[in-house]
Amino acid sequence: MANHKSAKKRIRSNNAKRLRNRYYAKSTRTAIKQLRKTQSKEEAEKSLPRVISLIDRLAKRNVIHKNKAANLKSKMTKHVNKL
């Protein structure tokens, strides 16, 4: 257990950041799944920029790696273009 005041604060802030990162990562994964499930091209083209924005935000915050973000965006774009 932490003994110093700063170490206790670090534990609290790390926990808050972890929960925030989990929330953003989960909501992004849900958006990706919904986009993959979409059958209509118009609807997919409409939601693609929002999903790409969510993925970029995760990469910027280092929740996911930048290469994983690039791969996800590429796959999503290919999927929408194939519809």
Residues 11-38: pLDDT tens digits?
A: 999 999 999 999 999 999 999 999 999 9
Counting beta carbons within 10 angstroms of the beta carbon of residue 3, is it exposed (0 to 12), middle (13 to 18) or buried (19 or more)? exposed
Could you count the other beta carbons within 10 Å of the beta carbon of residue 72?
21
The predicted structure's pLDDT at residue 1: 74
Structural domain boundaries in the chain? 5-82
- Are residues 59 and 69 in contact, defined by beta-carbon separation less than 8 angstroms? yes
Query: In this predicted model, what pLDDT tens digit does every residue of 59-83 receive, in sequence order?
Result: 999 999 999 999 999 999 999 999 8
Please give the CATH topology (third level) of the domain spanning 5-82.
Answer: Methane Monooxygenase Hydroxylase; Chain G, domain 1 (1.20.58)
Sign of CA dihedral 65, 68, 72, 73: positive
